[in-house]
Chains A and B, each alone.
Chain A
């Protein structure tokens, strides 16, 4: 959390002014009981009405000055807190964008999103409240005590005893209840999990007639939650009565001691009223302080969650300086080379890809096949350097991919991912992700190759048709074709289709492959698929099984000497061949 405070740097002035004016306001507030005491002692005693009027005017004046100070403080506190969170969010966003795939995988998207939104908001309100109250409340508590000393030392000693006692009660209850609140949270999570599970599994639960059993299990978690809540409730319900007893007992003690002092003539009756007033000011501020501390602990927890994200440093340098070498297209031979490449993901026990070696020439089509989890995606993700090889090297044009500037490298590679993702905006805007300056003709050409021309033509406004967030207003197949078009707009030297035709029917899939083949510029194309029909005409087929290469070759050679390939092929085609075709 501490490290986050550097984002307050530009608001130094505000962070000083806000608490300062709060203190000023508090000081004026502390004078009020003294004025009232003066009214009682001089005004009432000597029946001096002009004095009373004057003093009451002083009270109003104090109120006006207090209001001004307080408004000033609120303004600067808000400015600092809001400015801080804006800077923090920006920095966080930038940082997340700098992370590489390995880090994104380990952290997970959903927690990144909550950290950027609700956690930052929580920290913002924490900073705001701290600037406003954190100095003010202790100041009033101790200020009231000091003022009591100026009135009468003996009576003030009661304050010295009361304040620690109150603090013990308020903070003690907090210390005991905070860990219990965590238990409550955990129990609530369980109730939540159960609810979600039963919605997601409604079919299965009913198919197996499990409703009664599920009801019983829910009842158990639900009761556990309630009992924990009741326990915490009982403990935190102690705060108010306990502080009430302490403060009022202290008030009585003050009256008693002050009575003795008055008896001896060292203070007046008005002073007694002032002392009682100071006591009640302390009570009010302590309650505020306790609430503030709860808020601050929450904010600090959220701040730490944000800090965690900042502490994850990207494992890849985005742009290495010094040895920058640009890629000008692929050269003729051995344009992509894998040399004993193994990949192990962060935290995984086993390698996802082990000892892969092959060479792809310019203009070739490479098919990659294998079951889910066999490492197909991992293999192609190494080419645009989404991940780095754990051992071995990946070379383009004979040079290790690590030696190219990352942005350059990725501009040469067009990849269509398994999950078709489109962004809010028009179709044209989405397509231009690959190339900002693409002309409409270029867009249409890409759409035609991607078999998406008819999709766009049917949409209202065609290229300016608005896509909703997450591409909700498009079907899976439409999205997939548009993402292929987006990659084509880039006009990349290397095109990777990562199982990205799965939602297309076979006929469209075949037309797509044909169109890709006819593209100008000798692109090297990688096609990842689970269907043999999609890759059987490739120049080279890499068969993966459990992360290892089970065979490399053409369709015919693999059929002959690769068991895994034959098995896959036969499971998809056997019956048909038996049928005599």
Chain B
């Protein structure tokens, strides 16, 4: 019900269209139903040999033709109204969803499957649109047809109408009976299908391992077993569900026969004319059809509402806490950073960082060291305020970063992460992200500094080469170079570098090291360090393990401590 309300709030903007569509639907239905009456009247004018009232027929035909054309026009306009409304609503919903994605706290983005979120924005919205469109076009006109037919039939003859009204619900009953019976079979089918898909994903997705272990025959055997089960269940599900149509058609035939018999006797008794009987027969057909359709529409609408629910869930997700009202703009920072009694955890039950203190003076280098997965990104998350601390404070230039606008804070950081991310667009567009008004010379200078210029030059269109989603055809190393160029171009006063240059060949890597070194001169930098030389030369080393900062100090101090760092150092870097 709540979802329905939200759907209506989107519809509100298109209220004139909605009303117009409803009016047109009503017109269409009335005119459509009026037509059989006209043909019936015409047939009544054809009595037998030598007694046909041609002028009368001509008059009726003229009228009928006008009715038909009017109906067609009304129908077309109604369809257009429905389309407009549906696709506009869909656009609005997608826009709101995307807006929300840009504003969601990163904790949400990190903890939710991207595939699922994408499928909400795309597949769910599509399913919703389909259901909505079908609802507009079929539900209302279906109901109107039922009511209209009923009225028209009543106006011709009450008795025959009663026959139709009494027998028709039978088809609904039959349809719902079959639906109930087949539900469990469909459930079994989709369960088995899920099992099969899982196996396919495993075996086909990892075909190389399967072949390396010559495991093909065993896998095939397993697959055949599931496949045979699926065949059995599918046959049952498909067959039983396909009974719906013949069965409801059977009920319709019975209605038709009943109308024929009652109608014929009424006609003999002089209650109705043959033309009226013919109108009745076509009504009997039209009256039952919407019942079948409506039951379909209702399941479709239920599905659409379920999809709408999922997408609204995303749209209503709480956005990032907005910047404080009195938040200050951070100008060009010097690079003084402090952390005071910082505590942070992703989930309340699992404490991660506690009582963390740090003093970084302008120009200092901070190396972050630890085994893979030790939580180095957590620190970056806090510094750039992707996440907020639970207690304590992180300060830049003595100002709590929660009192600084996010935009100005982030402008002061340059970030190169291990996971390279590029958007689809030209190489240049990717480079100038942090400085949209950069000149060509600046771009080339930055690319040269990052050793990216030579490979970009060799691309088909140089800096205007369009790359696909996530870098497309570029190698991992080239992508990393582009990300470095991006930071080289704007050179903010504080740097965050993930020293993961693993995807770059050794010699380029060494040149990049030099570029990094040049970049870091005079800038406060945080480096996720893998290289011994970087670590030794750092002013402060933060040693992390299992998400916690376990030790802090310079190389010498930490070795003397003879703790985790010393251990790590000896096992990793000593021979």
Contacts and interface: CB of A to CB of B under 8 A. Distances in A.
B293 interface: no
A130 B201 CA distance: 30
A179 interface: no
A255 B68 contact: no
A268 B43 CA distance: 11
B177 interface: no
A384 B212 contact: yes
Nearest to A248: B68
A113 B88 contact: no
A240 to B, nearest CB: 6
B68 A244 contact: yes
Contacts of A97: 203, 207, 210-211, 216, 219-220
A245 B122 contact: no
B386 interface: yes
A373 interface: yes
A421 interface: yes
B103 A211 contact: yes
Residue among A238, A249, A263, A270 with the highest chain B CB neighbour number at 10 A: A263
A316 to B, nearest CB: 10
B176 interface: no
Residue among A40, A94, A96 with the highest chain B CB neighbour number at 10 A: A40
A123 B532 CA distance: 59
Contacts of B54: 259-260, 263
A573 B575 CA distance: 9
B223 A32 contact: no
Given A82-B231, A386-B212, A567-B510, A208 B261 contact: no
B460 interface: no
By secondary structure, the B interface counts as helix
Interface string A223-246: 101100110011001101110110
A93 B220 contact: yes
A365 B49 CA distance: 107
Contact of B572 (A206, A413, A505): A505
A581 interface: yes
Given A372-B476, A372-B477, A59 B253 contact: yes
A442 B509 CA distance: 44
B68 to A, nearest CB: 4
Contact of A219 (B95, B242, B267, B502): B95
A242 to B, nearest CB: 7
Given A188-B122, A371-B505, A222 B197 contact: no
A209 B61 CA distance: 69
Interface in A509-525: none
A157 interface: no
Interface string B239-255: 10011011101100110
B410 A218 contact: no
Given A40-B274, A372-B502, A195 B48 contact: no
B270 to A, nearest CB: 10
A490 B533 CA distance: 42
B69 A245 contact: yes
A234 B80 contact: yes
B109 A199 contact: yes
Contact of B48 (A36, A43, A256, A268): A268
Interface in B59-97: 61, 64-65, 68-69, 71-73, 75-76, 79-80, 83-84, 87-88, 90-91, 94-95
Interface in A458-476: 469-470, 475-476
Given A255-B39, A574-B533, A372 B52 contact: no
Interface in B25-54: 35, 39, 42-43, 45-52, 54
Contact of A244 (B75, B249, B386, B417): B75
A452 B517 CA distance: 40
B574 interface: yes
Given A200-B470, A262-B49, 14 more contacts: A25-B246, A60-B253, A70-B245, A74-B242, A97-B220, A200-B114, A206-B106, A208-B410, A226-B88, A248-B35, A252-B68, A276-B278, A373-B475, A571-B510
9 contacts: A66-B253, A82-B235, A202-B106, A222-B94, A258-B46, A265-B50, A373-B477, A424-B202, A573-B573
